[in-house]
A and B are shown apart, each in its own frame.
Chain A
Amino acid sequence: MDNISIRIIQPILALILSPLLFGIINRTKAFFAGRKGQPLFQTYFDLWKLVHKGVVYSKTTGWIFRAGPIINLSAILLITLFIPLGHSKAVIFFDGDIFLVIYLFALIRFFTIIAALDTGSSFEGMGASREAQFSALTEPALFLALAAIACGTGKLSLSEILVSITSKFWLSHISIILFVAATLIIVLLTENARIPVDDPNTHLELTMIHEVMVLDSSGPDFAFIVFASALKLWVFTALFAGVLIPDIGFGFWPNLGICVLAVLCVSVVVGIIESCIARLKLLFVPHFIFIATVFAVLAMVFVLRK
């Protein structure tokens, strides 16, 4: 019984808490800018408002544009079932679920991009092109980082990998953990359209990546997109926190508490990063991603040296 509740609580927490992350990031940024900032629960309000609105579809669009948000949200919901919180087993896990998760992200990307192209807008085309470029470059980094940690723990599923990160393992493999975490944070910033790769708050369509791809979405469709991106941020932060913070050994509930706290802290860190550095020139973004790949390769070197 306890086992089932442990497993079920993880995706439920993700569903409930993920929109909070945007609020935390925005409040952190507001704090650094000396502003009061929007309410912490602004994303919840936005979602509530959006689902009660009608939709405007562009006359250029077809079924792809209407299917995109639904496929995206479904895929990310499926992914949350694989993401363990607090070093326990997730709802579903099996050897090699890493690949399924990464390729479900690819499914999301595929449909986000073609939904953007479905509008025929040059701005959305521009965003789609950049999304395709940056994510193609992050994929090897993410794969190699996860390969390094899988190699270190000797496990092939996300759940078992994170379960294996005990404090003992953490101490003996600190170099690997740090390099993998460094890769993951860069991938997190890139994949979730944060500064220094993308600025979610900019007001010039020309400079956006992710926001510009959903310019034409509205109503419940846009609510699905916002919720999906909140969940995506949650998934990446949970993964990052799970790798960086070891199992402290007091059982599941304390671990879960620490993990959720860590996820919230990571969003504060993202807010700090966004406040402290400017967005990179687009031409330099690939260099930034190459750094992630370098970290991942270094992690791999350290694993194999052991």
Chain B
Amino acid sequence: MFYYSIKIFLVGVFLIFFGGILSLLFWRKQKLSILVGTLGAVSGSILGLIPAIKVLLSGGKESLYIAWSIPFGAFFVEIDAISAFFLLCIFILSIITAIYGSRYLLEYKNKSLAKAIFFFNVLISSMAMVVVSANGMLFLICWEIMSIASFFLVTFEDEHKHVRQAGIVYLIATHIGTAFLLVMFILLGRESNSLDFDKFAAIKLLPSSMASIIFILSLVGFGTKAGLVPFHIWLPEAHPAAPSHVSALMSGVMIKTGIYGIIRVLTFLPNPPLWWGWLLIIVGAVSGVIGVLFALAQHDIKRLLAYHSVENIGIITMGLGLGVVGINSGSQILAILGFGGAILHILNHALFKGLLFLGAGSVVSAAGTREIDELGGLGKNMFVTSVTFLIGAVAICGIPPLNGFISEFLIYTGSFKGLITKQLDLAAVSIIIIGSLALIGGLALACFTKVYGIVFLGEPRSKHAMNVQESSMIMLVPMIILAALCVFIGLFSSITINWLKQCISQIAGIGPDVVSSQILPLSNILIKVSFAAFCLFAAIAILLFIRKKMLSAEKVSIAPTWDCGYAKPDARMQYTASSFAQPLVDTFKMILRTRKITEPIKDLFPVEGQFESSTPEVSRDYLFNPIFRVIYLLLGRLRWLQGGNIQLYILYIALTLIALIIWKLR
């Protein structure tokens, strides 16, 4: 066969990697180092997009197999529609964030930037390799490189203690996840006598208990990377610690490699039982609601966005669960709507979350703080940032006419379709999805009106927010592109959904023709949604005109905000993010357990008071800390084994290997 596409892809990946190496070599010349790294990332990603788009639109598979001397390992890469879809997300966001990063990194004065560029490029190329690896060994190697590269990016500012801590949490979490994956691949390999993915897919008759064990292992292992509750604890630590363009890339696409893993494993295991769907939906619903609730309680803009990633991963997982339920019950339309909604949401989330993180980066670099309550009124000086951030905020709340609405629309439609069958199983999962999606929608709206309103509107709340300056064009253009893509998918959703046909067909295991015929009525509905959106814009334009006419003869004057008769209003009297969210945070205090420190007012004329609130991670305090404490106690007894030098540990490893070999040879 022709290896044409796959070669273009590999050249692209190599270019990205090579750009990283070059930037390391030129580390003394900062400008040059950034330039070659960014050029490598952008050109390589554009090259990689070509085969991705080709396969995504036309279907089929492109693969390359080169045998390795490592047992069970092989350089086996394959681009099918699923990989192509993920490659599309990865490369688009990589181009955008690489360009943004080339300017953003200059904020870090007196720091060697070559390291950040190098690991950034390594991260892109390893992510691309993860989603095309078709061999377990190759997959795990790329997976590890991806984790390590992102670890070094998270700990870029390692002079701060909290950054180092975040890095450690991330490193531990990701490796615990990988441990589960290792077991999963070994089990799959034992069943098929090979670690090649096509052999996995060929085992049709897996004992159901074994299939379920493999599924659970993949859910834990990949779920840790994706950030499913309760394995999400690394996200709110790592995302704020990393530079913003890295957070955008990690949150936008790196965590999606976890979702990719779950989807890939699902294609290995045909005929999923119903309870897998149930499990996915419940885990998704819990992640969605917990994610958005914790986001609501945060004061740090990037930490808040990190929790929203947990929420969106939850929505995606619910979509996957609906798809699995659809396959199980033999309802094709349910499977198509569930999986279709899930993968469209993956793309959408990559776009708007990337946009929001870049916007947050723009805010942070202008104001020098991530505390929402310190900001205010930034929209006046940072017009482009504020408008693009608004588009991202409206999109993430799932509000029409933007892209977030479309993917949620598919999942809602799917669950309503499940509901009206009146089969109890389908109806029950549908109710869970509808209820939690509605709650998530309302809470996300509260959260993003809070962020946008407090950060960009009103008066500056502190000196940080005064005299801010708009970021440079190199940072703004990527944000404008992402915002434009959000609008495009929102307005032309029927086209977009048709691009995803091959991918949906492959995930659901339904023939492309059947998918096409099922999607046809759907895309007709989406055309009507687009029509409604254009009606909305027309109405806005007409009303703008009418108001202009009305005001043309009247007086338009400017005055201070109505202060209800108070004589000396002050910017510090404005509502803050904490006060805005307080009613909802209190309503859900059962889950959030926000800690408040107040000093009660004593005198009739109080001079000073104090109030402080923080919402630490509940599953860390109540789930992982107790577990790790027990493990620490048990393993502490083996302390005497540890000499503290690395040579000794290598000796231990070698001894273990010999012991294993003897045990096997005996």
A215 to B563, CA, bound (A): 10
CB distance from B448 to the nearest CB of A (A): 8
Q: Are B457 and A62 in contact (CB under 8 A)?
A: yes
Q: Are A99 and B412 in contact (CB under 8 A)?
A: yes
- Identify which of residues 120-141 in chain A touch chain B, using a CB-to-CB cut-off of 8 Å: 120-126, 128-130, 132-133, 135-140
Q: Are A120 and B574 in contact (CB under 8 A)?
A: yes
Q: Take A94-B525, A103-B405, A129-B579 as given contacts and tell me if A216 and B562 are in contact as well, using a CB distance cutoff of 8 Å.
A: yes
Q: Are B536 and A74 in contact (CB under 8 A)?
A: yes
| A165 at the binding interface (Cβ < 8 Å) | no
A122 to B561, CA, bound (A): 10
Q: Are A120 and B580 in contact (CB under 8 A)?
A: no
- Identify which of residues 91-142 in chain A touch chain B, using a CB-to-CB cut-off of 8 Å: 92, 94-100, 102-104, 106-107, 109-110, 113-114, 116-126, 128-130, 132-133, 135-140, 142
| B10 at the binding interface (Cβ < 8 Å) | no
Residues of chain A with a CB closer than 8 A to B446's CB: 132-133, 136
| A224 at the binding interface (Cβ < 8 Å) | yes
A152 to B421, CA, bound (A): 10
| A53 at the binding interface (Cβ < 8 Å) | yes
Q: Are B529 and A120 in contact (CB under 8 A)?
A: no
Q: Take A78-B532, A118-B458, A139-B441 as given contacts and tell me if A59 and B559 are in contact as well, using a CB distance cutoff of 8 Å.
A: yes
Q: Take A74-B536, A133-B584, A147-B431 as given contacts and tell me if A62 and B379 are in contact as well, using a CB distance cutoff of 8 Å.
A: yes
| A201 at the binding interface (Cβ < 8 Å) | no
A75 to B536, CA, bound (A): 6
Q: Which residue of A lies closest to B401 (CB)?
A: A107
| A220 at the binding interface (Cβ < 8 Å) | yes
| A51 at the binding interface (Cβ < 8 Å) | yes
Q: Take A62-B380, A75-B536, A220-B547 as given contacts and tell me if A304 and B427 are in contact as well, using a CB distance cutoff of 8 Å.
A: yes
A-B contact count (CB 8 A): 249
Q: Take A95-B413, A103-B398, A126-B575 as given contacts and tell me if A58 and B539 are in contact as well, using a CB distance cutoff of 8 Å.
A: no
Q: Are B564 and A113 in contact (CB under 8 A)?
A: no
With beta carbons under 8 angstroms apart, the residue of B412, B547, B571, B581 that contacts A96 is B412
Q: Take A110-B397, A150-B416, A304-B424 as given contacts and tell me if A133 and B379 are in contact as well, using a CB distance cutoff of 8 Å.
A: no
| A189 at the binding interface (Cβ < 8 Å) | no
Residues of chain B with a CB closer than 8 A to A220's CB: 546-547, 550-551
Q: Are B551 and A121 in contact (CB under 8 A)?
A: no
CB distance from B84 to the nearest CB of A (A): 28
Residues of chain A with a CB closer than 8 A to B377's CB: 60, 120
Q: Are A132 and B459 in contact (CB under 8 A)?
A: no
Residues of chain A with a CB closer than 8 A to B562's CB: 58, 119, 121, 215-216
Q: Take A56-B559, A118-B458 as given contacts and tell me if A147 and B536 are in contact as well, using a CB distance cutoff of 8 Å.
A: no
A136 to B586, CA, bound (A): 14
CB distance from B391 to the nearest CB of A (A): 12
Q: Are A114 and B457 in contact (CB under 8 A)?
A: yes
Q: Are B442 and A137 in contact (CB under 8 A)?
A: yes
Q: Are A205 and B551 in contact (CB under 8 A)?
A: no
Residues of chain A with a CB closer than 8 A to B524's CB: 94
With beta carbons under 8 angstroms apart, the residue of B394, B445, B458, B557 that contacts A60 is B458
- Identify which of residues 132-166 in chain A touch chain B, using a CB-to-CB cut-off of 8 Å: 132-133, 135-140, 142-144, 147, 150-151, 154-156
Q: Are B557 and A119 in contact (CB under 8 A)?
A: no
Residues of chain A with a CB closer than 8 A to B550's CB: 51-52, 219-220
| B556 at the binding interface (Cβ < 8 Å) | yes
CB distance from B314 to the nearest CB of A (A): 15
Q: How large is the interface on A (under 10, 10 to 19, 20 to 34, 35 or more residues)?
A: 35 or more
A144 to B377, CA, bound (A): 38
A126 to B532, CA, bound (A): 33
Q: Are B420 and A110 in contact (CB under 8 A)?
A: no
| A253 at the binding interface (Cβ < 8 Å) | no
With beta carbons under 8 angstroms apart, the residue of B536, B555, B575 that contacts A125 is B575
| A272 at the binding interface (Cβ < 8 Å) | no
Q: Are A132 and B438 in contact (CB under 8 A)?
A: no
CB distance from A163 to the nearest CB of B (A): 15
CB distance from B171 to the nearest CB of A (A): 36
Q: Are B574 and A128 in contact (CB under 8 A)?
A: no
> What 1/0 mask marks residues of chain B from 437 to 475 whose CB sits below 8 Å from any chain A CB?
111011101101110111001110000000000000000
| A200 at the binding interface (Cβ < 8 Å) | no
> What 1/0 mask marks residues of chain A from 240 to 282 whose CB sits below 8 Å from any chain B CB?
0000000000000000000000000000000000000000001
Q: Are A128 and B427 in contact (CB under 8 A)?
A: no
| B46 at the binding interface (Cβ < 8 Å) | no
Q: Are B560 and A58 in contact (CB under 8 A)?
A: yes
Residues of chain B with a CB closer than 8 A to A94's CB: 524-525, 528-529
| A64 at the binding interface (Cβ < 8 Å) | yes
| A73 at the binding interface (Cβ < 8 Å) | yes
Q: Give the one of A59, A98, A136, A147 with max B CB within 10 A.
A: A136
Could you list which residues of chain A lie within 8 angstroms of chain B, going by C-beta atoms?
A: 51-62, 64, 70-71, 73-75, 77-78, 81, 92, 94-100, 102-104, 106-107, 109-110, 113-114, 116-126, 128-130, 132-133, 135-140, 142-144, 147, 150-151, 154-156, 205, 215-216, 219-221, 224, 282, 286, 300, 303-304, 306
**Closest 5 pairs between A and B when the two form their complex, measured CB to CB:** A125-B575, A117-B453, A136-B442, A120-B458, A74-B539
Could you list which residues of chain B lie within 8 angstroms of chain A, going by C-beta atoms?
A: 376-377, 379-380, 390, 394, 397-400, 405, 408-409, 412-413, 416-417, 419-420, 422, 424, 427, 430-431, 434-439, 441-443, 445-446, 448-450, 452-454, 457-459, 521, 524-525, 528-529, 531-532, 535-536, 539-540, 543-544, 546-547, 550-551, 554-564, 571, 573-575, 579-584, 587
What are 27 A-B residue pairs whose CB atoms fall within 8 Å in the complex?
A: A51-B550, A52-B550, A54-B551, A55-B554, A58-B559, A61-B561, A71-B540, A81-B535, A99-B413, A100-B400, A100-B529, A103-B408, A110-B394, A114-B457, A118-B457, A119-B562, A121-B562, A126-B579, A129-B582, A132-B580, A133-B583, A135-B442, A136-B445, A136-B584, A156-B420, A205-B564, A219-B550
